[in-house]
Chain A
Amino acid sequence: MRHDRSLWVHVLVLLGVAVVAATAQAESLSPRQHELVNMVRQDCGSCHGLTFRGGLGPALLPEDLHDKPVESLVATVMMGRPGTAMPGWSPFMTEAEAEWIVRRLKQGFPPVAQQKESSQ
């Protein structure tokens, strides 16, 4: 009997883990957020790397950004950085969208949706 119960506990724990994993996978982003994810991964990625480990531009991983204030990062995204290769992206996004991007970069950035579907 005790044996059975511990088995059930295992099953429940495993189910719980599966549910958490599934919700993390299926994080619901709006179509616009998907667009932003693609833009950041691909177009920002041409200088910062698809995985944000850096390139001509600096790395953008959570550990690189944790001590930088959100407002100044948002300003960099919107206006660029004079004297460097960083352009301003304000023609392509609102300030609120730039802030969403910055906060997500600090947390760990979502992958491109299409990347998941097509990686057989």
Chain B
Amino acid sequence: MKGWMRCRIAGLLLAGALSGCANGPALRGTGDLGVVIERATGSVQVVEHSGRTSLGAVPGLGDLSHAHVTYSRDARYAFVFGRDGGLTKVDLLTQRIVKRVIQAGNSIGGSVSQDGRLVVAQNYQPGGIKAFDAETLELVSEVPAEYALGQFSKVVGLADVPGQKFAYALFEAGEIWVTDFSDPKHPKTERFPAGKQPYDGLVTPDGRYFMAGLFGEDGIALLDLWHPEKGVRKILDGYGRGEEKLPVYKMPHLRGWAMAGGFAFLPAVGRHEVLVVDTRTWTEAARVPVKGQPVFVMARPDGRQVWVNFAFPDNGWVQVIDTPTRQVVKTLAPGKAVLHMEFTPRGDEVWVSSRDDNRVTVYDTDSFAVRQTLPATAPSGIFFSHRAGRIGF
């Protein structure tokens, strides 16, 4: 009885201590949380998409001019990769930095391993990938992208794939590498020739096919990770043959790509077109003419719509493609310099960032009505926590 009382008192004291904690967060889940990158000020806003509000800002993240965010397995922590090589672990619940390291001179992103224990960064300078303990951010191992003696390549398009592996492309080397971290301190790497200047990569949602978009030639390098022995296959080879390519003012991004009803929707480099690829045969099925050069081509989670934003100077527009008819059904003007879009987990709404209008606009994807606008300083990427449970994000 006395022991029980003591416990109760201790419990009450503990509860008191917790609620007495000035900024102590109320008990809540992280499934509807996310971050918005504030590019110019080196901060992120932690947001929630059920009520469409901002919960707070986390400053001190360095140069976020090309930032990427990936999530811990439990979807509580955001790993923010900055251009300056900063890797920061942010707690969504407390909106605080848990840990921050400068891991490279110039970095563009990273990804979390299948088992959630490693966070792997892809770097331009020094070119290569580095694996960190997802708990402590201590360096575990690294794979320099040395493709020839003394020559290092920038790494693009890193994707986590099943089997504790990571697939990525080497811009200068023109290769795809697949590194196995099953033995985290002794990674093993396989190399595949891919094509000229791969600029980004992606893995299909099932983790089977890794694709690298090529800048130096028209085409996409495709590697079947179930049959790596077959090597890289070039698809959509010469999709713009005989046509003058337009100057490219912003590289398209492939991650967050669009897979809808057995067809993949991909940005065409240097063209005002979205390419539609039949994923059974990996051949071109159609091209959808759009308003500018696509940067992000993203499918609503149900695959019924594909949303597209564009490179400078057409970056004030967003277009929506109806996938069964492959027609543009809506053209929106969310604001100046639209940089990114992120769907809510089941696609009822989409958040769109407008860098030069300093706002994020939330659209209803059925009616295209604006549900909310949120102020943000030069917002770029928007990343929701459901990415934690997806392959290749």
Given contacts A80-B247, A85-B197, contact A54 B40 (CB under 8 A): no
- Chain B residue nearest to A47 (CB atoms) is B251
Closest to B313 in A: A92
How far is A14 from B280 in the complex, measured between Cα atoms in Å? 73
The proximity string for A residues 93-120 relative to B, scoring 1 for CB distances below 8 Å and 0 otherwise, is: 0000000000000000000101100110
Q: In whole Å, how far is B124's beta carbon from the nearest beta carbon of chain A?
A: 6
Asked whether A50 lies within 8 Å of B63 as measured between CB atoms, the reply is yes
Q: Does A16 contact B (CB under 8 A)?
A: no
A115 touches B41 (CB 8 A): yes
Given contacts A46-B250, A50-B39, A118-B41, are A55 and B108 in contact (CB under 8 A)? yes
A55 vs B251: C-alpha distance in the bound complex, in angstroms? 12
Q: A49-B63, A87-B247 are in contact. Are A55 and B124 (CB under 8 A)?
A: yes
Is A56 engaged at the interface, CB distance under 8 Å to the other chain? yes
Q: Within 8 Å of chain A (Cβ to Cβ): is B356?
A: yes
- From A46, A56, A115, B199 is in contact (CB under 8 Å) with A56
In contact, B247 and A53 (Cβ under 8 angstroms) = no
Q: Are B63 and A51 within 8 A (Cβ)?
A: yes
Q: Which residue of A lies closest to B216 (CB)?
A: A83
Interface size range of chain A in the complex? 20 to 34
Flag if A55 contacts B66 (CB, 8 Å). Answer: yes
Q: Across the interface, do A87 and B358 meet the contact criterion of CB distance under 8 Å? A: no
Question: What interface size band does chain B fall in?
Answer: 20 to 34
Cβ 8 A contact of A43, one of B83, B197, B312, B378: B312
The reply to whether B250 and A50 form a contact with Cβ atoms under 8 Å apart is: no
- Bound-state CA distance A50–B377 (Å) is 15
**Within the complex, what minimum Cβ distance (angstroms) separates B44 from chain A?**
14
What 1/0 flags go to A15-59 for Cβ under 8 Å of B? 000000000000000000000001100110111011101111000
Q: B65 touching A49 by the CB < 8 A rule? A: yes
The answer to whether B83 and A49 have CB atoms under 8 Å apart is yes
* B41 with A119: CB separation less than 8 A: yes
Q: Secondary structure at chain A's binding surface: helix, strand, loop or mixed?
A: loop
Q: Is the CB of B65 within 8 A of A51?
A: yes
Please name the residue on chain A nearest to B312 by beta carbon: A43
Which A residues lie within 8 Å of B312 (CB)?
A: 39, 43
Residues on A lying within 8 angstroms of B by beta carbon are: 38-39, 42-43, 45-47, 49-51, 53-56, 80, 85, 87-88, 92, 112, 114-115, 118-119
Q: Chain B interface (Cβ within 8 Å of chain A)? A: 39-41, 63-66, 83-84, 105-106, 108, 124-125, 154, 156, 171, 197, 199, 215, 247-251, 312-313, 337, 355-356, 358, 377-378
18 interchain pairs (CB within 8 A)? A38-B356, A46-B66, A49-B66, A49-B83, A50-B39, A50-B83, A51-B63, A53-B105, A54-B106, A55-B108, A56-B171, A87-B249, A88-B247, A112-B40, A114-B40, A114-B356, A115-B40, A118-B358
